[in-house]
């Protein structure tokens, strides 16, 4: 079997890799477990020094890794550099704070002494997607390794070079051999990896369907999972919103990673009173973002990662149009070899249309009109997803109240687009998954929370 990296800008083959056999995979996992047996007792100071070295390598190699991402999945190089720098930041964040986050906690009981300790579980499997091929991995790997675990990575099959490059960062930074390994395998081998007796737990970032598959297999073997899945984030534009600022922020969010982000804005729920004023501002903000060659520094929107993904997006768009949605911008597949799709805006989107009910994984915005704020909240929550949400209003206190108490999502933002931050927990509810990454909560997902009681 072969794993092929294909440049989505022109459809040309980048490189071919041989898929690892099940026997090789099992041996690699055994080697990772052996490395963990020593790593789990390594002092935090030594772990932190190595993690800072990894951060330094990431900063040094950022331009080269940005080009690698552009070639394998189409990310514009300016966004690629920013992604690598964010990876360096998360490494530094946990290098600085992991020991404090995992310090034993004394608890007053009727014992002479009782405390809670946080100890590593072992080898953790990460099944990661192509859309942020470095960030998705490092936001898992930095806290996981700092907690004393080891890791094996099954990366998306269209970004094998990124997976190998991540392994080289840890190796070149001086981490123990085999502590972090990238497995060149297809999806058919994931079940066997989860079932491997040396694998203690698994995490997946990807589609809801992939999450269900991993959860089923992990559940059969009583292994913990953390799942960060799809999203159809609602952005509520209320009557008193600053419309120019909202339009610009919404366009930025919708076009992050060429629209291929679980937490990109997707459903723009606009109250009728300001809809006529908001729509042209939003369309113009979408229109001015340049689409083109991801290797050019001024490109904002590159190609989608694969042609089949573009075909799926166009199908969803056309079905929505057939059901009554109107096109305000784009929505046509450009000619040429690349998997490009232009910034696009649909309006008059309603329940029953794919643009309302499904996740559109590309640069297409869906404007959903509603009569008032109450209807906007109801529409926002009427989704099987619950990853992120945002509300735009000049009444900041009111916006905070809506975000805190009424919007159903793992992350809710006021007058800003949803994004991940190493300092804050990140994850979703409903079909967007469970568990948390990042922050103090994320590092405790893959540890044994152990009670010690001394009479």
Q: Which residues are catalytic?
A: 228, 262
Helix (H) or strand (E) holding 454: strand 447-454
Termini Cα distance of the chain: 59
- Per the CB < 8 A criterion, the answer to whether 392 and 251 are in contact is no
Structure tokens of 125?
A: 């499997």
- Per the CB < 8 A criterion, the answer to whether 253 and 268 are in contact is no
Query: 124, 139, 131, 120: which is closest to 38 by C-alpha?
Result: 120
- Per the CB < 8 A criterion, the answer to whether 14 and 72 are in contact is yes
Three-point CA angle 367, 371, 374, nearest 5°: 100
Three-point CA angle 348, 351, 352, nearest 5°: 110
Token match 């096109």: residue?
A: 327
Token match 């999972």: residue?
A: 225
- Per the CB < 8 A criterion, the answer to whether 278 and 243 are in contact is yes
Structure tokens of 162?
A: 């990124």
Structure tokens of 447?
A: 């540890």
Secondary structure E strands in 167-261: 180-182, 199-205, 224-228, 233-237
Helix (H, G, I), strand (E, B) or coil at 436: coil
Token match 């042609």: residue?
A: 307
Q: How many helices (H) and strands (E) does the chain have?
A: 14, 20
How far apart CA 180 and CA 360 sit, in angstroms, is 33
- Per the CB < 8 A criterion, the answer to whether 304 and 7 are in contact is no
Secondary structure E strands in 168-223: 180-182, 199-205
- Going from the C-alpha of 321 to that of each of 105, 129, 251, 449, the distances in angstroms are 57, 29, 21, 51
The strand pairing partners of 414, in sequence order, are: 391
> What radius of gyration do the chain's Cα atoms show?
22
């Amino acid at each position: 079997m072969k794993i092929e990296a294909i440049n989505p800008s022109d459809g040309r083959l980048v490189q071919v890799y041989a898929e690892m056999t099940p026997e090789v995979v099992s041996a690699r996992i055994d080697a990772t477990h052996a490395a963990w047996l020593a790593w789990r007792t390594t002092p935090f100071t030594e772990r932190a020094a190595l993690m800072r070295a990894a951060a330094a390598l990431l900063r040094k190699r950022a331009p080269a890794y940005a080009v690698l991402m552009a070639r394998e999945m189409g990310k514009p190089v300016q966004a690629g550099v920013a992604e690598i720098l964010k990876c360096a930041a998360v490494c530094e964040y946990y290098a600085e704070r992991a020991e404090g986050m995992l310090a034993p906690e004394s608890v007053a009981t009727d014992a002479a002494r009782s405390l809670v300790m946080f100890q590593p579980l072992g080898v953790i499997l990460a099944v990661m997607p192509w859309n942020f091929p470095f960030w998705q991995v490092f936001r898992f790997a930095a806290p996981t390794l700092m907690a004393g675990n080891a890791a094996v990575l099954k990366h998306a099959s269209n970004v094998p070079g990124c997976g190998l490059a991540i392994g080289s960062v840890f190796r070149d930074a001086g981490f123990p051999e085999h502590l972090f390994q990238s497995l060149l395998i297809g999806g058919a081998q994931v079940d066997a990896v989860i079932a491997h007796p040396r694998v203690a737990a698994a995490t997946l970032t990807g589609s809801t369907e992939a999450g269900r598959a991993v959860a089923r297999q992990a559940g059969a073997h009583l292994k913990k999972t953390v799942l960060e899945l799809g999203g159809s984030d609602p952005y509520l534009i209320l009557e008193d919103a600053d419309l120019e600022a909202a339009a610009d922020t919404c366009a930025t969010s919708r076009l992050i990673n060429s629209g291929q982000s679980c937490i990109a804005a997707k459903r723009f729920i606009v109250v009728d009173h300001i809809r006529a004023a908001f729509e042209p501002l939003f369309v113009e903000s979408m229109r001015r973002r340049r689409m083109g060659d991801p290797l050019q520094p001024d490109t904002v929107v590159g190609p989608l990662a694969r042609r089949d993904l573009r075909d799926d997006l166009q199908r969803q768009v056309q079905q929505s149009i057939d059901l009554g949605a109107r096109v305000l911008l784009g929505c046509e597949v450009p000619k040429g070899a690349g998997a490009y799709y232009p910034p696009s805006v649909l309006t008059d989107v309603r329940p029953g249309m794919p643009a309302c009910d499904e996740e559109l994984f590309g640069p297409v915005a869906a404007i959903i009109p509603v009569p008032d704020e109450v209807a906007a909240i109801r529409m926002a929550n009427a989704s099987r997803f619950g990853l992120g949400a945002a509300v735009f209003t000049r009444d900041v206190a009111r916006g905070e109240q809506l975000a805190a108490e009424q919007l159903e999502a793992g992350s809710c933002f006021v007058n800003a687009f949803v994004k991940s931050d190493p300092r804050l927990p990140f994850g979703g509810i409903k079909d967007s998954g469970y568990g948390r990454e990042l922050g103090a909560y994320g590092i405790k997902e893959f540890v044994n929370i152990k009670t010690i009681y001394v009479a």
